[in-house]
Amino acid sequence: MKKSDKPADPKPETPRPDVPPDEAIVPAPAPAAEELAALRERAAKADEFWDRLLRTTADLENFKKRAARERIEAGQAASIALLQKLLPVLDHFEMAQSAAQTAAAPPSGIQSLQAGIAMVQQQFKSILAESGLEEIDATGKPFDPLIHEAVSQIETADVPEGQVVRQVRKGYRLRERLLRPATVIVAKKPSAVPNDHAA
């Protein structure tokens, strides 16, 4: 078969539905020199603002990372300082335990051991107090649900109702922040004794 030398007819253009066929498409006029300069100036400002935004975002992320790292380091430094103060207390407890295991038990030896343990306890308490720990002394005070936890009530006429009769376990605060409420027993009015001889 012989190929035809005649080129194929081009496909007719399909008319666009939004443009009527009788209207000619007019190209947009070229912007004036002043408009072009204003557009270039705006584009330059937009680039400058974008760069500033990227730098500010990067600075903020770096600040967040640095603040988090400093917070962790400050917490570790505080823990290290406290533990360094507590190590001698641990040493004294170990010495007391060793002395209790190896020594004979004459009455003076037990008294000496008790005195040593009391000294270690006092040393431990003073270190904790230096760190801001405060004991909550609840005995004889009015019951306060913010710092006390009542485990039971006891009927008594000796103290006013709602007063702490006995502290079962000490409570603690760290610089005005409650760590553990004091566990207490609270007084309540005695119930009326039934009159068995009533007519």
Tell me the pLDDT tens digit for each residue of 57-114: 999 999 999 999 999 998 888 888 887 888 888 888 878 777 776 666 566 667 777 7
Global confidence as pTM = 0.53
Q: Where are the beta strands (DSSP E) in the chain?
A: 133-136, 148-155, 164-169, 171-174, 177-180, 182-188
Read off the pLDDT band of 198 (50, 70, 90).
very low
- Is 146 within 8 Å of 171 (Cβ atoms)? no
8 A C-beta contact, residue 107 and residue 129: no
Counting other chains too, the contacts that 174-179 makes at CB distance below 8 Å and 24 or more residues apart are 174/131, 174/132, 174/133, 174/134, 175/132, 178/146, 178/147, 179/133
pLDDT per residue as tens digits for the range 119-164: 888 888 888 888 888 989 898 899 999 999 999 999 988 889 999 9
Collapsing DSSP states into helix, strand and coil, what is residue 98? helix
* CA nearest neighbour of 187 among 147, 135, 139: 139
Tell me phi and psi for residue 89, to 5 degrees. Answer: -65, -45
Q: Domains in the chain, start-ordered, CATH in brackets? A: 30-131 (3.90.20), 134-191 (2.30.22.10)
